[in-house]
Chain A
């Protein structure tokens, strides 16, 4: 059992929760119609900054079927200290406290919760609420105010980095580019809106069905905000309709539902509207300035990258945007800086590949520009600067099959047939563009626990307080447990999305399989050990003296690998006078590793554009990914496909427009905030290159949730340049920008 058998791992198993999802049986947060349920509807602020003078609730309260209107001056007691509102992924600062006081910090901030017997009553009554404000001058215009951005170091750390003399090297190099890229505010828009069904039991306990990527993160938040014991709060999120980062932190529907349930002493459901989904976190707008220089042969001489982004007045949200180039490209003269400007907006939050998606867009477009400036093929330039070392940490990689990604991706795409000359490739009246880019993402692992239960009749239950927001965590857990314990996957039940289960981190960062998967492996290993111990307690046990690595688990029992002997599951359990083995175990990352751990990809994009009209069609994408061991190629490929679609949206469609006069996001719906539809998406080929990594973690996995979006927007933007000869450096690449003279 030392070497895992691979009867399920690496196989394209279909989702174990597939049937529940295609039949409508899967229940999401706002779908638990518990008895006596009341409905809450949120009223949000119309202004971006100021104070609430008065909230007029009389009209609302007079609507038949109304229960109450909760506001900052009519609510049960909430924790006062801002730190009680923190959570495990909160950025440094003082978190927003919903309905806490009269201060308005951003447009769309919740100012009241209207609760009624019926949903429509609550919605109608909410429309009758009038709020008097004392309005103050707000600042929301990122473009106008980015000049006052500052480097923000938290806990002595900043993402800035310097080595060599970048300015001097730049001035002396023969090939130089200086460019500026822009990414606008983007919103995650998972299909399920945030919702919470707070099931009231008594004054001392609460159970909440909540849309979240981290049930325990939400449990701790509720306990802290309401001064409850952690074990008095239970958060359930068995099905989550997408997150993409928006559900990492608790959103305001959670405390509002709990607040109302505790005040009314009955169960309350609060779901946000799609419009209100634009009042929570978002991908921050940013401006990235890059100055790159190279020798004539394309060898990088200098790399300077400055990122300026926005954050709220009360928290400093930033991720690693600028250091990626030092992981990908050898260069001795580097200057990397990140700056933040505070605006009267809500705090940004992680959105698929936070930091990487933004940084690599600029880095990989600039690299393409440098290749053109040097007269080199963009892939050749990348290969000639390929780095086998993490130049930030000065460490080698545990594995890095990026060269193979380039090679296999280019071959599948047909890159060698590309005419590098912009505007040289045509198909009828459309110009054809081929572009490529590199992707990179951290391969992280967090501490996690799991419990495995094996019963005498051969059924297995595996559990951990993680989530499954769509990657297929249920399936991964099931496959792993079936494999480790030698049972058919039909005999395995996976449980997650419950804060009462063994500890797990939030589902994010592409670290769920590495973290929870390794915990499952450890828990199953404990079950194996116990089973062997019991099997050896049978009088004259045929497995006497056998070690764990000598035996294998099968459906019916525990079998010696070389001798033809076995002990049945039932006999082993009987020997211990038990009918089940239950083991919980944890796994954590090797903090002393001498290696850097990253996932890589090479993205190749074909676009066709009608130049006169400016309509761009993405006709083909090839994404070659090196992500260590792939446990389920079917579900892993779906992760890449979906992230590529997100990349198409980032490149061509997605933008939340702010009217700075009102300090308000105006495109707050799915008709004005465009995400790709079926017609926008054509052939997407996903390749997983072989990458063996025994160092990274016992499973050899890296995670595939983010990598698919990283580099995709750059590959498309580079393809647009190749097709048209036009560099559009501000996303999204819309018709108006292609029509610019």
Chain B
């Protein structure tokens, strides 16, 4: 690892101050991705600011009946929190689909949002990569792209966002609270991550001096009709080829509200409001789900090795919506796909 400076932040304001003072600084909490990237020489921070002692580890109810999750709540604590298991089982399930128990014990809620892509060109500093070295070119577009994106890609980058948790947060309409020199702001989850465009070096719209302090979940948790289905190359401890979060509100066999988010297919957790609104009022039957899947994938584009992902995503969407509608969510323990 490079010889970075190390300091601790005493409070949120101090964290923001320290970050503003050092353009090469990074916050560190769980470290599960950042330490890895520093070892690979992909990240070379001048300073690490340890934020683990900040008071951001609480999980509280909000005034409107939602939940506020402190940015430092570990992924495992969040997944197994009684309120999450009961009211937001989609989030519970998505978190448990990701990484390993050890990594979930380390990784924090805020850090999970800031995971960088697992594209192997991004990780291998001998190859060109626009995300790692802007302007050097994208090796994946004409290279090995089995894991890569099929939606929202650009000619500069086809990397995917690797998080499972974020897919559920996107579906649940979470909000991200961040504090910077200009004070605190609340960011809609859909606006937090970004598409690569011609600046793939930026994964999110978080400003350099901002720190994530909390995630807010709205009251609605879709605890009855939901499912998180993750499809990967082995049965556990692998990144998604395709993941789908589905949440439905069904009344008398008709869909009153639908949420649909995809992981492993784009530079950000993929929400498609057009496909969702098409489901509104539709009967909760396979034909509706097929139509929704076609709609989500209407602009999908693949790059050779990942051609299969379009069809896989189509089938996964239909299956996940079916699981949600039937009230038979995918279990992350038993690997049989329901």
Contacts and interface: CB of A to CB of B under 8 A. Distances in A.
B234 to A, nearest CB: 5
B233 A674 contact: yes
Interface in B121-168: 121, 123-124, 126-127, 139, 142-144, 146
Contact of B118 (A664, A668, A671, A679): A671
Given A123-B1, A615-B337, A739-B308, A679 B120 contact: no
B336 A653 contact: no
A120 B3 CA distance: 9
Interface residues of A, number: 40
B207 interface: no
Contacts of A679: 234-237, 335
Contacts of B315: 612-613
B239 A653 contact: no
A680 B238 CA distance: 12
Contacts of A666: 120-121, 124, 127, 143-144
Q: In terms of DSSP, what is the predominant structure of the interface of chain A?
A: loop
Contacts of B2: 124, 127
B293 to A, nearest CB: 12
Interface in A608-657: 608, 610, 612-615, 617, 652-653, 657
A608 B308 contact: no
Interface residues on chain B, size class: 35 or more
Nearest to A108: B126
Contacts of B308: 735-736, 739-740
A428 to B, nearest CB: 7
Contacts of B143: 659, 661, 666
A659 B139 contact: yes
B67 interface: no
Most buried by B among A63, A666, A669: A666
Interface string B101-135: 00000000000000000101101101100000000
Contacts of A736: 146, 305, 308, 312
A739 B306 CA distance: 12
A584 B121 CA distance: 55
B14 interface: no
B41 A127 contact: yes
A46 B57 CA distance: 43
Q: In terms of DSSP, what is the predominant structure of the interface of chain B?
A: loop
A612 B317 CA distance: 11
Given A124-B3, A666-B124, A679-B335, A735 B312 contact: yes
A664 B175 CA distance: 42
A498 interface: no
A555 to B, nearest CB: 47
Nearest to A670: B237
A63 to B, nearest CB: 8
B312 A613 contact: yes
A662 B137 CA distance: 14
Contact of B144 (A124, A657, A740): A657
A674 B41 CA distance: 23
B233 A739 contact: no
B123 to A, nearest CB: 8
A368 interface: no
B184 interface: no
Interface in B212-265: 231, 233-239, 241
B319 A739 contact: no
B228 to A, nearest CB: 14
A677 to B, nearest CB: 5
Contacts of A124: 1-3
B126 A614 contact: no
A46 B315 CA distance: 40
Nearest to A427: B336
Contacts of B146: 657, 736
A659 B126 CA distance: 12
Contacts of B144: 657, 659, 666-667
B336 A46 contact: no
A541 interface: no
A193 B121 CA distance: 23
A700 interface: no
A88 to B, nearest CB: 34
Given A615-B337, A617-B336, A667-B120, A676 B312 contact: no
A613 B239 contact: no
A617 B337 CA distance: 10
Contact of A617 (B120, B241, B312, B335): B335
A672 interface: yes
Interface in B290-318: 305, 308, 311-312, 315-316
A430 interface: yes
A163 B326 CA distance: 62
Contact of B126 (A613, A653, A662): A662
A706 B25 CA distance: 51
A653 B235 CA distance: 10
A124 B39 CA distance: 9
A664 B3 CA distance: 29
A678 interface: yes
Given A677-B237, A739-B311, 9 more contacts: A428-B336, A429-B337, A613-B315, A613-B316, A613-B337, A617-B235, A668-B124, A672-B120, A736-B312
27 contacts: A120-B1, A124-B2, A124-B3, A612-B319, A613-B231, A614-B312, A615-B337, A653-B234, A657-B146, A662-B139, A664-B126, A666-B120, A666-B124, A666-B143, A667-B120, A671-B238, A672-B118, A674-B233, A674-B238, A676-B234, A677-B234, A677-B236, A679-B236, A680-B234, A734-B233, A735-B231, A739-B311
Q: Can you list the 7 inter-chain pairs with the closest CB atoms, starting with the nearest? A: A46-B126, A679-B236, A736-B308, A679-B235, A610-B337, A127-B41, A666-B120
Interface of A: 46, 63, 120, 123-124, 127, 428-430, 608, 610, 612-615, 617, 652-653, 657, 659, 661-662, 664, 666-669, 671-672, 674, 676-680, 734-736, 739-740
